[in-house]
A and B are shown apart, each in its own frame.
Chain A
Amino acid sequence: MKRSITRAATLLASALREIFDESAYARFLDRRKLTSSREAYAAFCREYEAAKARRPRCC
């Protein structure tokens, strides 16, 4: 039971991190071998901007 709850909580946290682009940022840092910083986040925003801004929000 405890394991199931922990697993559900982990999944929920993962989903939220994906929805809120925290996972995307972590992957970006991993890919570029960077640590989190203002400059790294600015670079991530620049790279991510092109893709994100092209997505319309659904009605």
Chain B
Amino acid sequence: MPKTFRILIWLAVAILGALALATVALHRGEQINAMWLVVAAICTYAVGYRFYSKFIAAKVLVLEAQRATPAERLENGRDFVPTNKWVVFGHHFAAIAGPGPLVGPVLAAQFGYLPGTLWILAGAVFGGCVQDFVILLFSVRRDGKSLTEMAREEVGRLGGLVAYVAVISIIVILLGVCALVVVNALKASPWGTFTIAMTIPIALLMGVYLRTLRPGKVLETSALGFILVMLAIFGGQWVSQNPSVASWFTFSGPALAILIIIYGFAASALPVWLLLAPRDYLSTFVKLGTIALLALGIVALRPVLHMPPLTRFIDGSGPVFAGNVFPFAFVTIACGAISGFHSLISSGTTPKLIRRETEARMVGYGAMMAESMVAIMAMIAACVLQPGIYFAINSPAGIVGQAPEAAAATISNWGFPITAAEMHSLAQSVGEQTLYNRTGGAPAFAVGMAHIFSNSLGGQALMAIWYHFAIMFEALFILTVLDAGTRAGRFMLQDALAHVWKPLGRTSWYPSILATSALIVGAWGYFLWQGVKDPLGGINSLWPLFGISNQLLATVALCVATTIIIKMGKARYVAVTLVPLIWLVAVTFTASWHKIFDPNPRIGFLSHAAQLLSSPGANVRLIFNDRLDAFVTGTLIVMIALILIESAVEWVRVLSGRKQARVKESPFVATRFVTEEQG
């Protein structure tokens, strides 16, 4: 293609993107079509990938097509396998796409669609995609080493320790919050609870089928599992319509929390093939299909966004969670913009599959763009709802009141008209008794998704089926994160405890399995219990805590990346990772300060504890929870401050010439693939 033509095409893409972004950002007073968000996102990603990631690949990382990757050098047919780049892309995307990009944008929609959308786009192009790309490449150049190992080798011993603590903390907080989202979606919902309960025997059946009848036929087994899950959704409708059966599956929040804690413990202790692996396959199958379906639904329906670009809640008085748009919009949306958790995947399986170094750009940068697009779709799903409906679903009873009329009146007074009759009718159309106070984001996302799906396929008659399909999708997805996370956390704990007493590190020794499983489940179970007992719905306290811990892990990853870039002698390009690092430090440190010390009891843990203490009949447990949350946040911040200082000292020593800049890369070995291609 002639160069002039290429320039004109990219100019057109850039102008279209700018036009779409201007429409998204500057439109006031009128509703806009969701396609503007889609076009703005696609053009932004296209320009970011074509120019920014190419710049990073060529100038900063200097990708070497001739350098053999660990997949080639250490090929063993097991962990290290040279794999086609599109296959690795799919594998990496399936590994990084979790419930975060679905829930975070839905919660942040309380500020309007604008802050979240801009953060998702800018955060991904300049932060998240860069982090995933550079960490993937650095891991590839170090034989697939993990983030913790790279932190220890390149930054220092403290860096390794902080990375370890950050990882285990984020796992515990993540699991507690995820479980809370499921509890809030399933409480008093026999249909949803039945469907999700059925996924357990379905997974067991899949495990046995896969092991005994059709060994290794995972896709076939997953497709069968999917059919059974769809039947369970229809079965759930029958259950919900039969009061005597429905009562067996109608649970309060605390009862569901106990059931999920028992499930988490069982999943951690049972053999992987029996429950964990089949559920994982089933969840991935549903996840990939549903994300594709949602994208098609949005394009087919081209819905109008009813949520305004900015709401009054940017002042920090939001009912979904309290806190100003800065910094809280930026910690609420972590996955989809920048997620520290991705650095674990980028330094886990993926670097061992990359066939050519140059392919790290498409896999690392590209897959994160795809995840960011999922976050944009979640934002659209939340914003196609009437704002009154959105706030009725997402606001806790402690803010809007228990009675439907009182809640509708409070929300209408905020300027988002809604009536109790409308909410009742909506609840009936989706097969629920009520949709009030369903905090956590999942039910609002499910209603938005059902709205998009039912308007594209099946009409209002299928609204309830689509709603419960969406709830099943989210809950299955989240419970998979929960069981895999519990087990991964258990292994990490066993690795650490082995330094204290060797037998504790034996992953096949049942006393150790039971003790460490109990410790991990107990830790996230405590956060879950705290959430279900919180009069403000739990999300107000716990989701920001999760966002902070996730982005603190991103801070660790960017510290490691910045250190390596300086040691590579590329200090003039250090802004590529240093700017997102500075931004994340500003966001997370400010958010942490507010969460600990803010005088507003809805924001600050300590002021909330003080308020409880001064009220008659103070609840000692709630006060303890607030102080514990403040302690956890403070500890994480101190640890990250330490790794920042350690990194900065290393940068100064290298830049001032007091320390020789030497990166700990594997030696260069020429790839055979170039010769093969040339031959």
Interface residues of A (CB under 8 A from B): 11-12, 14-22, 24-28, 30-31, 36-38, 40-42, 44-45, 47, 49-59
With a cutoff of 8 Å between Cβ atoms, the chain A residues found around residue B481 in the complex are 56-59
**Structural contact, B211 and A41, CB atoms closer than 8 A:** yes
6 closest cross-chain pairs (CB), A and B = A41-B215, A15-B90, A56-B488, A59-B100, A20-B218, A57-B484
**Structural contact, B284 and A19, CB atoms closer than 8 A:** yes
**Structural contact, B174 and A20, CB atoms closer than 8 A:** no
B129 beta carbon closer than 8 Å to chain A: no
**Structural contact, A54 and B281, CB atoms closer than 8 A:** no
* Given known contacts A20-B281, A41-B211, A53-B488, A27 and B219 CB-to-CB distance under 8 angstroms: no
CA distance A40 to B210 in the complex (A): 12
For A47, the closest partner residue in chain B by CB is: B78
**Structural contact, B215 and A19, CB atoms closer than 8 A:** no
**Structural contact, A28 and B90, CB atoms closer than 8 A:** no
- Interface range on chain B (Cβ under 8 Å from partner): 35 or more
**Structural contact, A53 and B77, CB atoms closer than 8 A:** no
Interface residues of B (CB under 8 A from A): 77-79, 81, 83-84, 86-91, 94-100, 170-171, 174, 178, 210-212, 215-219, 222, 271-273, 276-277, 280-281, 284-285, 288, 334-335, 339, 341-342, 344-345, 348-349, 480-481, 484-485, 487-489, 491, 507, 546, 550
Q: Within the complex, what minimum Cβ distance (angstroms) separates B94 from chain A?
A: 5
**Structural contact, A58 and B215, CB atoms closer than 8 A:** no
Contact of B488 among A19, A25, A41, A55 (CB under 8 A): A55
Q: Within the complex, what minimum Cβ distance (angstroms) separates A8 from chain B?
A: 9
With a cutoff of 8 Å between Cβ atoms, the chain A residues found around residue B84 in the complex are 11, 14
Which applies to chain B's interface (DSSP): helix, strand, loop or mixed? Answer: helix
CA distance A14 to B87 in the complex (A): 6
* Given known contacts A27-B77, A59-B481, A44 and B216 CB-to-CB distance under 8 angstroms: yes
Q: Within the complex, what minimum Cβ distance (angstroms) separates B93 from chain A?
A: 9
With a cutoff of 8 Å between Cβ atoms, the chain B residues found around residue A59 in the complex are 98-100, 170, 174, 178, 334-335, 339, 341, 481, 546, 550
**Structural contact, B87 and A38, CB atoms closer than 8 A:** no
* Given known contacts A14-B87, A19-B94, A58 and B335 CB-to-CB distance under 8 angstroms: yes
Beyond the given A20-B284, A22-B216, A59-B100, please list 19 additional residue pairs across the A-B interface where CB-CB is below 8 A: A11-B84, A16-B90, A17-B219, A18-B83, A18-B90, A26-B216, A28-B78, A36-B215, A40-B215, A40-B216, A47-B78, A54-B487, A55-B95, A55-B348, A55-B488, A58-B342, A58-B481, A59-B98, A59-B170
Q: Within the complex, what minimum Cβ distance (angstroms) separates A44 from chain B?
A: 7
CA distance A43 to B291 in the complex (A): 34
With a cutoff of 8 Å between Cβ atoms, the chain A residues found around residue B488 in the complex are 53-56
Q: Within the complex, what minimum Cβ distance (angstroms) separates A51 from chain B?
A: 7
**Structural contact, B97 and A58, CB atoms closer than 8 A:** yes
* Given known contacts A18-B87, A55-B348, A57-B280, A36 and B216 CB-to-CB distance under 8 angstroms: yes
**Structural contact, A31 and B78, CB atoms closer than 8 A:** yes
Which applies to chain A's interface (DSSP): helix, strand, loop or mixed? Answer: helix
**Structural contact, B215 and A37, CB atoms closer than 8 A:** yes
**Structural contact, A18 and B91, CB atoms closer than 8 A:** yes
* Given known contacts A15-B90, A59-B178, A59-B334, A41 and B98 CB-to-CB distance under 8 angstroms: no
**Structural contact, A55 and B91, CB atoms closer than 8 A:** no
With a cutoff of 8 Å between Cβ atoms, the chain A residues found around residue B170 in the complex are 59
Contact of A27 among B78, B174, B218 (CB under 8 A): B78
With a cutoff of 8 Å between Cβ atoms, the chain B residues found around residue A37 in the complex are 215
Contact of B90 among A19, A51, A53 (CB under 8 A): A19
For A14, the closest partner residue in chain B by CB is: B87
**Structural contact, B77 and A41, CB atoms closer than 8 A:** no
With a cutoff of 8 Å between Cβ atoms, the chain A residues found around residue B100 in the complex are 58-59
**Structural contact, B78 and A58, CB atoms closer than 8 A:** no
**Structural contact, B272 and A53, CB atoms closer than 8 A:** yes
**Structural contact, A15 and B81, CB atoms closer than 8 A:** no
**Structural contact, A38 and B211, CB atoms closer than 8 A:** yes
With a cutoff of 8 Å between Cβ atoms, the chain A residues found around residue B212 in the complex are 38
**Structural contact, A21 and B218, CB atoms closer than 8 A:** yes
